[in-house]
Amino acid sequence: MKALVKETPAPGLTLREVDVREPGPGEILVKIRAASICGTDLHIWRWDHWAAGRLRPPVITGHEFAGVVEAVGPGVATPRVGDHVSLESHIVCHTCYQCRTGKGHICQNTRILGVDTDGGFAEYATVPAENAWVNPPDLPWEIAAVLEPFGNAVHTVYSGVGVEGRTVLVTGAGPIGLMAIAVARASGATLVVATDLQPYRLEFARRMGADRVVNVREEDPVEVVRELTGGQGVEVLLEFSGSERAIHQGLQALMPGGEARILGIPSDPIRFDLAGELVMRGITAVGIAGRRLYETWYQGSGLIYSGRVDLEPLITHRFAMADYREAFELLERGEGVKAVLYPDA
Ligand code: NAD
C-alpha cells in the first residue's frame, strides 16, 4: 500500500510503498477513505523541537481518519467487517490509575496513532478494535475523519459547568476553536465572542455562529467583552490559541468566579500572575486533554448525526494523498481550515 511516512529525522514526509500489516488479536484492518491534516501533523512535517523529541522514525503519520473495516483479528466482536468507522487516536493502557478510575483520556501510557505508532495517512491502517467508533454509513468520509478534533472541541465546551445559559469567550479560531463555537452555539450559550489574528479565520467564526468576532490586532478583546456583558466579563473562557497573550486576555475577560478551560498548547512555558489573574478572582482553570473515552464521542457524534452541528463549511480543501505537499504547504501559509487527503483518489 501507499503511505505517507516520516522516514528520517528531518523535515517533510515521503510517499512510499509499505506492507499492509494483518490485524492481530484485538485489532482491525481499516481501508482508509479520508484523513484530515492537524496542527500536530504540521509540527511533524516541519520537524520542529516537539517532533524531534517525540517521534521515532520511520512512522506512518496522520491521526484524524476514517474508513471501512476490511478485516478483524482474533477475538474482535465489534466493529464488524464493512462498518464505517472513525478512529480515536489515543491508545490507552487500561492498567494505570487514570484508566482504572474512568479517566483514560489522561492515561499515563498514552500512545498516539500517527505519532507513537503507525497512523492514517495511508491506504490501510491496522489499529486496536476498541479505538473504532462506528458511524452511520451515510456520514460523509471527511466529516467522519474530523470527528477526532471535533471531540477536542466538544470535551472543552462540555467540561465543568458547560455553556448552557452562559456567556462564552473563545480565544483562537483555528479548526478546533471554530468547532467549539458551533458546539457552544448549539448547546445554549447566550453570547459567543471569538478572537483571532486572521480575518480569514474570523470570517469562519462568524459563519459557525459567533455573535461577535474580535481581531486582536485591531481591538482589545477584554474591552469588547466588558462592553458586551455590562462590565461583568464572560462566565466561561474556552482557550484554543496556545498564545500567551490570548491566555492573559482570556483570563482578564473572565468574570470573578468564572471558568477557564484551556486546550491550546503554548510552544514554550508561559508566565502569569497567579494571584492577580487566578487566585484572588476565584477563577477555576482546567486543562483539557484529548477526548473523554468514550463519553465525548457519544456527545460529539450526537451533535453531528442530529444535524445540530454542521462541520462541512470547515472542510476548505480536498487533495488526493499523492498531492500531500500542496496540502501541507497551503496549511503552512495559513490559507485553509481543514484539508482532507483521500488515499484512493
Ligand atoms: P491552530 O494553531 O490552527 O489554531 C490556533 C488559532 O489561534 C489560529 O487561528 C491563530 O491565528 C490563533 N491565534 C494565535 N495567536 C492568537 C492570539 N493572540 N489571540 C487570538 N488568537 C490567536 O490550532 P488547532 O488545530 O485549532 O488547535 C488549537 C490548539 O489546541 C493548538 O494550540 C493545539 O496545539 C492544541 N491542541 C491541544 C490538544 C489537547 O489535547 N489539549 C489536542 C489538539 C490540539
**168 and 133 within one domain:** no
- Is 215 within the bounds of a domain? yes
Average pLDDT for residues 110-139, to the nearest whole number?
98
The answer as to whether 301 is a domain residue is no
Among the three residues 287, 303, 324, which one is the final residue of a domain in this structure?
287
Is 0.95 surpassed by the pTM of this model?
Answer: yes
Domain count, the chain: 2
Burial of 120 (0-12, 13-18, 19+ CB in 10 A): buried
CB 139 within 8 A of CB 68: no
Ligand 1 geometric centre to CA of 233 (Å):
22
Decide if 294 is inside a domain.
Answer: no
Q: For residue 25, how many other CB atoms are within 10 A of its CB?
A: 9
Pick from 112, 176, 291 the residue to mutate for probing ligand 1's pocket: most ligand atoms within 8 Å of its CB. Answer: 176
Instruction: Note the pLDDT of residue 267.
Output: 87
Closest atom of ligand 1 relative to the 38 alpha carbon: 25
Please give the distance, rounded to the nearest whole angstrom, from the Cα atom of residue 50 to the centre of ligand 1: 15
How far is ligand 1, taken at its centre, from the CA of residue 171, in Å? 8
CATH code, domain carrying 63: 3.90.180.10
Taking Cα atoms as reference points, which of 84, 86, 82, 70 lies closest to residue 27? 70
pLDDT at res. 313: 98
% of the chain exceeding 90 in pLDDT? 99
Nearest CA to ligand 1 atom 12: 172
The residue from 272, 287, 302 where one domain ends is: 287
Cα of 40 from ligand 1 centre, angstroms? 10
Q: What is the CATH number of the domain that holds 279?
A: 3.40.50.720
| CA 290 to ligand 1 centroid distance, Å | 14
**Residue 50: inside a domain:** yes
**Length, in residues, of the chain:** 345
Angle at which helix 295-305 crosses helix 147-158, to 10 degrees, equals: 110
- Report d(CA 120, CA 113) in Å as an integer: 8
The Cα 152–Cα 181 span in angstroms is 12
User: In whole angstroms, what is the distance from residue 164 CA to residue 283 CA?
Assistant: 19
Question: Which among 43, 84, 105, 155 is annotated as catalytic?
Answer: 43
Q: Does residue 163 register a pLDDT over 90?
A: yes
- Cα(69) to ligand 1 centroid in Å equals 32
The yes-or-no answer on residue 110 being catalytic is no
Atom of ligand 1 nearest to the CA of 40: 34
Atom of ligand 1 nearest to the CA of 39: 25
Taking the centre of ligand 1 as the mean of its atom positions, its distance from the CA of residue 37, in whole angstroms, is 14
pLDDT at 15: 98
Report yes or no on 31 lying in a domain. yes
Q: Can you tell me which atom of ligand 1 is nearest the CA of 245?
A: 18
Whether residues 81 and 217 fall in one domain: no
| pLDDT score of 340 | 98
Q: What is the mean pLDDT of residues 61-68?
A: 98
- When pLDDT is cut at 50, 70 and 90, the band that residue 123 belongs to is very high
Which grid coordinates are listed for 252?
482578564
Same domain, 85 and 131: yes
Shared domain check, 202 and 158? yes
Q: Does pLDDT of 152 surpass 90?
A: yes
Q: Which of 89, 159, 263, 268 to mutate to test the pocket of ligand 1 (most atoms within 8 A of CB)?
A: 263
Three-state secondary structure call for residue 87: strand
Separation CA 20–CA 180 (nearest Å): 36
Task: Say whether pLDDT at 31 is over 90.
Answer: yes
Q: Is 241 helix (H, G, I), strand (E, B) or coil?
A: coil
Residue 318 structural domain: 2-146+311-342
Verify that 92 and 191 share a domain, yes or no.
no
Tell me, yes or no, whether 158 and 115 share the same domain: no
Q: Does the pLDDT of residue 2 top 90, yes or no? A: yes
259 domain-assigned = yes
Burial class (CB in 10 A: 0-12, 13-18, 19+), 108: exposed
**Within-domain flag for 119:** yes
Q: Are both 181 and 281 inside the same structural domain?
A: yes
Mean pLDDT (the chain) is 98
For the range 73-76, what are the long-range contacts, defined as Cβ-Cβ under 8 Å and sequence gap of 24 or more?
Answer: 73/22, 73/23, 73/24, 73/25, 73/26, 73/27, 73/28, 73/29, 73/129, 74/24, 74/25, 74/26, 75/25, 75/26, 76/23, 76/26, 76/27, 76/28, 76/129
> 319 has which bridge partners?
341
Residue 317 annotated as catalytic: no
Same domain for 323 and 207?
no
- Residues touching ligand 1 (Cβ under 6 Å) are 38-39, 152, 171-177, 195-198, 201, 216, 240-243, 245-246, 263-265, 288-290
Residue 299 within any structural domain of the chain: no
User: Are residue 111 and residue 17 in the same domain, yes or no?
Assistant: yes
* Residue 261 and residue 134 in one domain: no
pLDDT score, position 345:
87
66 plus 133 within the same structural domain: yes
Q: Is residue 7 domain-shared with residue 137, that is, in the same domain?
A: yes
